[in-house]
């Protein structure tokens, strides 16, 4: 797995710099006070005032710092050192109190245990597809949650991730295996947020995870599922013929297609 992860780390280090300098992440608006969190996350997570929040796979920290703006005591973790450096610079520039740590998820206990446990562990939007194995992921989430604390995730629906993203809505068909642990290789010059960018590192590897893997990893770690919601919208243009709404979520342009498949899910699980 180390070879796959090195490809991904190189890509994310370069992507972090492109995203911080581009328009897709609304950096200028964020520096002017925009909260980057989607209304869905804010509503389903609830009030975070005074809560300790751990953000796994935080990229360069805009969502992490958005939670800080809402009153949380935040710690962000990501495996891309340039992304973490950008997050630290952004935290200082905006005078937002936050801790950012560079580590991959599987080795985070080597560097994070001194921080203790958290009220909330959070991750979102294109995160778990970069993890080859969810069993240790679930254990790590449980390890860092206080009793009574909860985990929240919003991410791409596994059903959507099996659809061939190259075909328009009326021609949708399965293009990737749903039941497979083999990595999916992608080679693209740009990024999901800056499609016209030309990266030096263009190869990534991702993994599709079934719903049973997601649920099983959390349940086997001792967490209790509070809710599981499926949504006909996504945080990025995951398939062709989509348009952005006022909530910054992407939906199919054709209303009839919005009834066809789930594009995203959100889930909350509590540690007893």
Instruction: List C-alpha distances in Å: 115 to 95, 112, 146.
Output: 21, 6, 12
User: What pLDDT, on a 0 to 100 scale, did the predictor assign at position 46?
Assistant: 98
Run of H or E including 198: none
Beta strand residue intervals within the chain, DSSP E: 52-56, 73-78, 98-102, 118-124, 145-156, 184-187, 203-206, 223-231, 242-244, 250-252, 264-271
Handedness of CA 17, 18, 22, 26 (dihedral sign): negative
Q: Three-class SS of residue 49? A: coil
pLDDT of residue 89: 97
| C-alpha closest to that of 250 among 264, 262, 235, 263 | 235
> What pLDDT is stored for residue 177 in this prediction?
93
User: Is-contact 268 226, C-beta < 8 A?
Assistant: yes
User: Distance (Å, rounded) from C-alpha 117 to C-alpha 114?
Assistant: 9
Give the mean model confidence (pLDDT) for residues 60-73. 98
Cα atoms in the 13 Å half-sphere on the side-chain side of 236: 19
Residue 181 binned pLDDT confidence (cut-offs 50, 70, 90): confident
- Considering the chain, what is the average pLDDT of its residues? 95
Over the stretch 232-260, which tens digit does the pLDDT of each residue have? 999 999 999 999 999 999 999 999 899 89
DSSP 3-state helix, strand, coil percentages of the chain (rounded to 5)? 35, 25, 40
pLDDT above 70 as % of the chain: 100
Higher pLDDT, 2 or 189: 189
Full-model pTM: 0.95
What domains does the chain contain, in order, with CATH numbers? 2-271 (3.40.50.150)
Average pLDDT over residues 205-229: 97
Other C-beta atoms lying within 10 Å of the C-beta of residue 108:
20
| pLDDT score of 1 | 56
Q: Rounded to whole angstroms, how far apart are CA atoms 152 and 243?
A: 26
Handedness of CA 111, 141, 126, 66 (dihedral sign): negative
Place of tokens 């909530």: 247
pLDDT of residue 254: 93
Q: What is the pLDDT of residues 117-176, one digit of tens each?
A: 999 999 999 999 999 999 999 999 999 999 999 999 999 999 999 999 888 777 889 999
Residue 140 CB partners (closer than 8 Å, separation 6+): 56, 105, 106, 108, 109
């Amino acid at each position: 797995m180390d070879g796959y992860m090195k490809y991904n780390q190189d890509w994310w280090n370069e992507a972090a710099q492109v995203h911080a300098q581009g328009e897709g992440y609304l950096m200028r608006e964020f520096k002017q006070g925009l909260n980057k969190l989607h209304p869905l996350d804010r509503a389903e997570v609830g009030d975070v005032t005074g809560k300790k929040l751990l953000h796994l796979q935080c990229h360069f920290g805009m969502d992490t710092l958005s939670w800080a703006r809402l009153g949380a005591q935040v710690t962000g973790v990501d495996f891309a050192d340039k992304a973490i450096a950008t997050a630290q610079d952004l935290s200082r520039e905006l005078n937002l109190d936050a801790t950012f740590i560079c580590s991959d998820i599987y080795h985070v206990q080597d560097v994070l245990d001194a921080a203790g446990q958290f009220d909330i562990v959070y991750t979102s939007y294109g995160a778990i597809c970069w993890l080859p194995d969810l069993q240790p992921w679930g254990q790590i989430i449980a390890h860092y949650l206080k009793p009574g604390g909860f985990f929240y995730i919003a991410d791409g629906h596994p059903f959507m991730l099996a659809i061939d993203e190259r075909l328009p809505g009326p021609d949708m068909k399965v293009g990737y295996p749903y039941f497979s642990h083999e990595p999916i290789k992608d080679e693209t010059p740009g990024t999901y947020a800056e499609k016209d960018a030309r990266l030096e590192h263009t190869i990534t590897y991702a993994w599709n995870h079934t719903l049973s893997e997601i649920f099983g990893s959390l349940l086997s770690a001792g967490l209790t599922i509070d809710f599981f919601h499926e949504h006909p919208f996504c945080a990025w243009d995951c398939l062709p013929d989509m348009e952005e709404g006022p909530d910054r979520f992407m939906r199919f342009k054709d209303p009839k297609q919005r009834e066809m498949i789930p594009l995203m899910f959100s889930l909350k699980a509590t540690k007893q």
